[in-house]
Amino acid sequence: MVKLKRFNAETVRKMEGMIFFAPWLIGFFVFMAVPIGFSFYMSFNQVRIMPSGLDIHFKGLQFYQKILFEHGSILYNNLFPFLQQALLMIPIIVIFALLVAIMLNYRFLGRTAFRTIFFLPVIFSTGQIIQEFYDQGEGSLDFLNQYNVSSYVTMIFPGAWSSTISTLLDSFVLVLWYSGVQILIFLAGRQTISGAVYEAARIDGASPWESFWKITLPAMVPFIFLNTIYTVVDLFTFPRNPIMTKVSTSDYGLSSALVWIYFGIILIFLSVTMLIFKRITRSYQEIR
């Protein structure tokens, strides 16, 4: 008689988790891992599509050297202005989303309607729609043109930064459209803070401003980190991304090398973000 082996509760939970995780894992290896690996392989080869199939010739690091050193304009002339714009857009989006989420957490008439309004751009701002808005010159603030703010920006900031800031101001409304998901995450994070903490702070005589800096902001640090990571990834997949528009199907090897270099730059941004928040979290722990 065969004895069935009994599993403890922890093993059963792990097996259940693997069962639910397996469809995603299989889908990742079938639909993503193979194309990603083949893209990395193509970055070292010259690939041509022939009637008989793929014509592949090994080129080594030739495409990487061409992009980084020989023809740097492919990368630098388009990437640096975009990176400057991203450095400004990331804090604007995160700070705006945090402030809106705090306001939407208060109880007032029509709160549900306002929450829906702030999240609607996430539904409508697909790639083609947002591209049409940019092509039509929408998204700017009227008072900026009325008071000729761009001329003051040019006078105050250096040439490279002034053009970047002016471009950002011309599409400021559309930038804020990308705050919908961040607002939702911040709103969920704000609701994890117990109201009893704020009540105790009021009893001790703390002002709303002090409660924000001593209670709200420290508790929201993990959610700020999450939203910063999300915003970085979201901006680097922007519809008007200058690097992705340079990707061409006429030369798969060169385009693959460009994409992998761009991917490395994204990883650098994410690594710097993680390092900054690691130090911030450590400083808060030392204060406590």
Q: 206 in a domain, yes or no?
A: yes
- The pLDDT of residue 114 is 80
| Co-location of 59 and 84 in the same domain | no
Cα–Cα distance measured from residue 93 to residue 95, given in angstroms and rounded to the nearest whole number: 6
Give the residue ranges of DSSP H helices in the chain.
Answer: 9-28, 34-42, 62-65, 76-105, 111-124, 127-135, 142-146, 149-156, 159-170, 172-177, 180-190, 195-203, 208-211, 217-236, 252-287
- The confidence score (pLDDT) of residue 266 equals 85
224 and 92 assigned to the same domain: yes
Q: Are residues 176 and 218 in the same domain?
A: yes
Domain housing 32: 9-63
The pLDDT of residue 4 is 44
Total count of domains within the chain: 2
pLDDT of 144 reads 64
Per DSSP, the three-state class of 125 is: coil
Same domain flag for 153 and 193 = yes
Same domain, 152 and 204: yes
CB 96 within 8 A of CB 175: no
CA-based nearest residue to 118, from 99, 138, 133 = 99
Amino acid at 189: G
Same domain for 48 and 133, yes or no, is: no
Q: Which residues contact 208 (CB under 8 A, 6 or more apart)?
A: none
**Is residue 254 a part of any domain in this protein?**
no
Is the domain of 224 the same as that of 137?
yes
pTM: 0.74
**pLDDT of amino acid 1:** 41
**Per-residue pLDDT tens digits of the chain, which is 288 residues long:** 444 456 677 788 888 888 888 898 888 888 888 888 888 988 888 887 777 777 788 888 888 888 887 766 667 777 777 777 788 888 888 888 898 888 888 888 877 888 877 777 777 666 566 666 666 656 566 666 666 666 666 667 666 666 666 666 666 666 777 788 888 899 888 888 888 888 888 888 888 888 888 888 888 888 998 999 888 888 887 766 666 666 666 678 888 888 888 888 888 888 888 888 888 777 766 665
